[in-house]
Copies of this chain bind each other. A is one copy, B any other.
Amino acid sequence: MRAAIFNGPGKIDLEDRPKPVVKDPTDAVVRVVLACVCGSDLWWYRGISDLAHGTVGHEFIGVVDEVGDAVQDLAVGDFVIAPFSWSDGTCRNCRAGFHTACDHGGFFGQGGQDDGGQAEYVRVPQAAGTLVKVPGDDLSDDVMADLLALTDVMSTGYHAAVSAGVTEGMTVAVVGDGAVGLSGVLSAKLLGAARVIVLGSTHEDRHALAREWGADEIITVRGDEAVAALKDLTDGNGADAVLECVGTKDSTETCFAIAAAGAIVGRVGVPHDVTIDGEATFFRNIGMRGGPAPARHYQPQLMRAVLDGEIHPGKVFDLVTDLDHIADAYAAMDERRAIKALIKISER
């Protein structure tokens, strides 16, 4: 089969690999229909973080091609959504709703010899606890894109909003207007935010989607200027909840600085060189939560919202291409020519 392979910073190549098969009785093999490229893939694509040579991609939806003997409730031919990590669904951490810390879990597409989602087939460990079956046969391209967004980006934006404790009537700040930040805007509105303020880039295409999804104001300055601008917009109080959707030292500091007393910073941007001041946060009761999103935990309810037409998270994809052009997709996202790239791999 064909698979995208990481051959060093800036180098993504399409290579032939053996088609995966069921190894453990709890495995399934999925034929990938749609995949995408994640903002977090850019960390190692840009050489900022390390990744072993090998397979990549952790976002995919597809059709079950083979199932192990121990996998109940899934059959060949089922159309499924995968979260970006596998999980047994039964350990203490899964039962607590934190599937990304599963005792028998792992993450797709981390280089090396394991399977990644930017490929024709993927072996899925712990398939019964991991894959979410999609009901119905007649799904439009738009709905398919919406479902693809649930594999990571929308679930991650939703986790930011849940972690930040967004409830009805709040003024919510979203730091970052990449695909995750935009999904955070949609999620904050879904959870009842009365007002959403985005701290983002100067990219007009991102602003347009942010506004379509419910952003009321967009702040494009950075650092102290951004903090002052947000305080001006909130009578000096700061935001009732803050979504950290970037992960840098600067963005994290901004999040804590714009949080109102008692607010929680919901973090989903993978942190790089981040430490948090234990004293400044304490005296105003500023909290933090978050981490790798338990996408599997949110997928059933978000899938229902997609199938009911309540949300359209797939709008975050503004570049559609195929596996032959996967390298172009990375380049377009790296150069910020695209918010997020959808990769068509096979027909359902």
Chain A interface (Cβ < 8 Å from any Cβ of B)? 92-93, 96-98, 100-101, 163, 235, 237, 240, 252, 260-262, 264, 267, 270-272, 274-279, 281-292, 294
Copies in the complex: 2
State which of B96, B270, B287 has its C-beta within 8 Å of the C-beta of A288: B287
**Could you tell me the dominant secondary structure of chain A's interface residues?**
mixed
Interface contact A92-B235, CB-CB below 8 Å: yes
Cα-based distance from A236 to B167 in the complex (angstroms): 33
With A92-B237, A281-B291, A288-B289 known, 9 other A-B pairs at CB within 8 A are A92-B235, A101-B261, A101-B285, A272-B279, A276-B278, A282-B290, A283-B292, A284-B291, A288-B288
Interface contact A93-B262, CB-CB below 8 Å: yes
Residues of B within 8 A of A291 (CB): 281-286
The residue in A262, A272, A279, A284 that gathers the most chain B C-beta atoms within 10 A of its C-beta is A262
Interface contact A287-B289, CB-CB below 8 Å: yes
The 5 closest A-B pairs by CB, nearest first: A274-B278, A101-B261, A287-B289, A285-B291, A98-B262
Interface contact A264-B289, CB-CB below 8 Å: yes
Interface contact B262-A101, CB-CB below 8 Å: yes
Residues of B within 8 A of A235 (CB): 92
Closest-by-CB residue of B relative to A271 is B278
Residues of B within 8 A of A287 (CB): 163, 264, 287-290
Residues of B within 8 A of A289 (CB): 264, 285, 287-289
Interface contact B279-A290, CB-CB below 8 Å: no
**Given A262-B93, A284-B101, A285-B100: A278 and B292 interface contact (C-beta under 8 Å):** no
